[in-house]
Amino acid sequence: MAKTLFQKVWEAHTVRQLPNGQTQLFIGTHLIHEVTSPQAFGMLRDLGLKVKYPHRTFATVDHIVPTNELKEPYSDPIAQEMIEALRKNTKDYGIRFFDTSTGMQGIVHMVGPEQGITQPGTTIACGDSHTATHGAFGAIAFGIGTTQVRDVLATQTLSLSPLKVRRIEVNGKLRPGVYAKDVILHIIRDLGVNGGIGFAYEYAGSTFDNFSLEERMTVCNMSIEGGARCGYVNPDEKTFEYIKGRPHAPKAADWDAAVVRWKSFASDPDCKYDDIKVYRAEDIRPTVTWGITPGQAIFIDEKMPALELLNAADRATAEDAYKHMKLSPSTPIKGTKVDVAFLGSCTNGRISDLREVAKYLKGHKVSPTVKAIVVPGSQLTAIQAVKEGLDKVFIDAGFEWRGAGCSMCLAMNPDKLVGDQLCASSSNRNFKGRQGSQTGRTVLMSPLMVAAAAITGQVSDAREIFKV
Amino acid sequence: MSLAKITQVKAPALAVPGDDIDTDRIIPARFLRCVTFEGLGEHAFRDERTGPDGQDRPHPLNSEQAAQIAKDKKGVMVVGFNFGCGSSREHAPQSLWRFGFTALVGGSFAEIFFGNSTALGVPCVTLSKDDLAELNLFVQKNPGTEVAIDLEKMNVSAGDKTWKASIPASARESLISGKWDPIADLLEGSSAIEKTAQSLAYVAK
Ligand code: SF4
């Protein structure tokens, strides 16, 4: 019978059926970070359990790491306590830790791919909802809670129910100035923030075939913003090319066997999907959010929706959103004053994002009214960027160049909005308070749009500013 | 490990209206700077409850009924649709549970939040849209009255009304059989786990 990648990976990792009817699923790769793991190790100790397969868990530190303070102890004693707890836990249990001193630390969803740990046909879990990022390689990857982190540590398995699979096809060529970020914001806008509940999203079509792995990661990353716990792209030659030669990639004779195996996991051409959606790449324009959920998005040249045009269910959230954002229905978002520009995060903090922006940034200056920061998602990205001289381009334009971490994507480190500042952000969540100020406002967009906003001090159309 | 069989939760209800309430709102990120879950209860919905000026805002969790729930550690939160979306932080259900909520009734729940809650022994059941509206109305008119969630009969009742409730079969089974923490079952599969590990080339070193 023809099967989807999801079904094949699920079957290959099924340990047994549990009495409650769920599947005991083997988690081949477990990623941990400092925020959601300490309590799990605590539970493990309380129960007197060991880590079953220490070599299948990998750790890094990202959320609490200050990006402008490299020396320890950090000025936030709690951050210091958290990084030390992770050091102790990984040491006690023999887990590989990509610590800040290794030159390989970074946002957990960047470290896995960079190290070649993220591979097709595998199951990956992490106590972090953006774990679907790894689905870009044809893995079934999803976020879990802390009790489940304990379950994986102790048994390398989870109790789960299978998901349905929705194929989301995007075909054709994106217009200039339109990016992977716009594609996923467009999909979420269309299918809604809870449209994906119960589904894994399989992204496909010629647009995805042409995407680099980094672009695929940007899309898979935000699956959870559409309610889908897991999203993936079928593995292809580009996938194998990306993995080849990385530290944890299969070597020598194992490589060929691995590629054969990886290919076999791709969805069969005639498999059945629970749902199919199809989009045309050329219909997508640069997209920005105007509200407090990632689904509240419009094309940059559209007006924000009139309340009376929204269905009753969406209206209350929209009213709340307009109030919080201090924006008005039926007006353009373009021209809205911006105070902060944040370029980074596991959605858009990769080398290709930095390269693309740097390409256009030369000769431009950040508006004096804007605080602009660029935060490479990982130390390897930062090193590569410096090698290419990208840091200079950003610094010359007036951006602050920072160390690797989650930074202003969420408020667990010193990078935060103040008061009701409005941030043009390449991250993934525009929830109230997400960027550290209760009244702070977030407008999500692609990296190039962030750069345009930084330069003009307003939400702008990057295609006009940079003559894309 | 023996856990309580959770077949019924009967407790005073509190409505926290709104759809798409994300886990950043339930527990703001700054409270995730911790290595235990202790003390999270008092910070549930902190930024909705306290203004930037440090003053209390009108919020259901600031009400007298909420104070009673916090005192008795017994309460049912009535919520909207897509509750608990966003971040996977287990700190969110932990904070509600530590505040005193022992069950939730809503229109729909985000999956990770739902799983995290179940693993704490906090059932999250759903009602149809209309029934939920009716329950909400009832709770708002009769603050502090008890709502009963019956996982065996799969219904929710309040006053003289009873509505049909839903919950995924596996979660229901886990709760009523007292196996909502899956660890014992998972550990039992040890030899089967090792067999699966052996069959996966990337795992077997
Ligand atoms: S960059 Fe943002 S979304 Fe990504 S892992 Fe860090 S905090 Fe989470």
The predicted pLDDT at position A411 comes to 79
- Is residue A77 included in any domain, yes or no? yes
- Is residue A390 included in any domain, yes or no? yes
pLDDT tens digits along B92-127: 999 999 999 999 999 999 999 999 999 999 999 999
Q: Are residues A153 and A217 in the same domain?
A: no
- Is residue B139 included in any domain, yes or no? yes
C-alpha–C-alpha distance, residues B88 and A94, integer Å = 25
The fraction of chain B above a pLDDT of 70, given in percent, is 99
- Is residue B126 included in any domain, yes or no? yes
Region B120-146: what's the mean pLDDT? 95
With a 6 A CB cut-off, is A427 part of the ligand 1 pocket? Answer: yes
With a 6 A CB cut-off, is A346 part of the ligand 1 pocket? Answer: yes
HSE-CB at A183 with a 13 A cutoff on CA atoms is: 31
- Is residue B154 included in any domain, yes or no? yes
The position carrying tokens 């940079």 is: A466
Q: Are residues A217 and A107 in the same domain?
A: no
* Radius of gyration for chain A, computed over Cα atoms and rounded to the nearest angstrom: 21
- Is residue B156 included in any domain, yes or no? yes
- Is residue B2 included in any domain, yes or no? no
From A19, A53, A229, residue closest to B185, measured CB to CB:
A19
Asked if residues A120 and A235 have their Cβ atoms less than 8 Å apart, the reply is: yes
Domain with residue A380: its CATH number is 3.30.499.10
The alpha-carbon gap from B38 to the nearest alpha carbon of chain A, in Å, equals: 10
Region B134-146: what's the mean pLDDT? 93
pLDDT tens digits along B81-93: 999 999 999 999 9
Q: Helix B91-99 vs helix B111-119: angle between axes, to the nearest 10 degrees?
A: 50
HSE-CB at B103 with a 13 A cutoff on CA atoms is: 24
Q: Are residues A211 and A305 in the same domain?
A: no
The alpha-carbon gap from A143 to the nearest alpha carbon of chain B, in Å, equals: 6
Domain that holds residue A380: 287-465
Q: Are residues A199 and A243 in the same domain?
A: no
Residue-level length of chain A: 468
The predicted pLDDT at position A69 comes to 86
Q: Are residues A412 and A461 in the same domain?
A: yes
C-alpha–C-alpha distance, residues A459 and B135, integer Å = 42
Domain count, chain A: 3
- Is residue A36 included in any domain, yes or no? yes
- What is the three-class DSSP state of B203? coil
- Is residue B64 included in any domain, yes or no? yes
Confidence of residue B1 (pLDDT cuts 50, 70, 90): low
- Is residue B15 included in any domain, yes or no? yes
The predicted pLDDT at position B56 comes to 95
Q: Are residues A396 and A420 in the same domain?
A: yes
Q: Measured from the CA of A412, which atom of ligand 1 is nearest?
A: 7
Contacts of B28 in chain A (CB under 8 A): 411, 433, 438
| Residue A7 to residues A1, A10, A136, A259, A274, Cα–Cα distance (Å) | 11, 5, 16, 19, 12
| Best residue in A156, A159, A164, A289 for a mutation probing chain B (most B CBs within 10 Å) | A159
ipTM for the predicted complex comes to 0.95
Domain that holds residue B151: 8-180
C-alpha–C-alpha distance, residues A298 and A319, integer Å = 16
Q: Number of CB pairs < 8 Å for A and B?
A: 213
Domain with residue B144: its CATH number is 3.20.19.10
What is the phi-psi region of residue A175: left when phi exceeds 0, alpha when psi lies from -120 to 50, beta otherwise?
beta
Asked if residues A448 and A339 have their Cβ atoms less than 8 Å apart, the reply is: no
- Is residue A262 included in any domain, yes or no? no
Q: Are residues A62 and A133 in the same domain?
A: yes
Neighbours of A75 (CB within 10 A): 11
Note whether B35 contacts A82, CB cutoff 8 Å: yes
Contacts of A53 in chain B (CB under 8 A): 197, 203
- Is residue A178 included in any domain, yes or no? yes
The rounded average pLDDT for each run of 10 residues, N- to C-terminus, in chain A (468 residues) is: 97 96 97 97 97 98 94 95 98 98 98 98 98 98 97 98 98 98 98 96 98 98 97 98 98 95 98 98 98 98 96 92 98 98 98 98 97 98 98 98 97 94 98 96 98 98 97
- Is residue B143 included in any domain, yes or no? yes
Domain count, chain B: 1
- Chain A residue with minimal CA distance to B93? A145
Q: Are residues A294 and A427 in the same domain?
A: yes
Asked if residues A312 and B39 have their Cβ atoms less than 8 Å apart, the reply is: no
pTM of the model: 0.97
Q: Are residues A144 and A130 in the same domain?
A: yes
- Is residue A383 included in any domain, yes or no? yes
- Is residue A444 included in any domain, yes or no? yes
Q: Are residues A218 and A339 in the same domain?
A: no
The predicted pLDDT at position A70 comes to 83
Asked if the model's pLDDT at residue B2 lies above 80, the reply is no
Note whether B82 contacts A227, CB cutoff 8 Å: yes
Asked if residues A395 and A354 have their Cβ atoms less than 8 Å apart, the reply is: no
Q: Are residues A77 and A109 in the same domain?
A: yes
CA of A408 to the centre of ligand 1 (A): 9
The predicted pLDDT at position B205 comes to 66
Region B58-75: what's the mean pLDDT? 97
C-alpha–C-alpha distance, residues A150 and A38, integer Å = 10
The predicted pLDDT at position A312 comes to 86
User: Order of strands across the sheet with A199-204?
Assistant: A230-233, A199-204, A164-171, A275-280
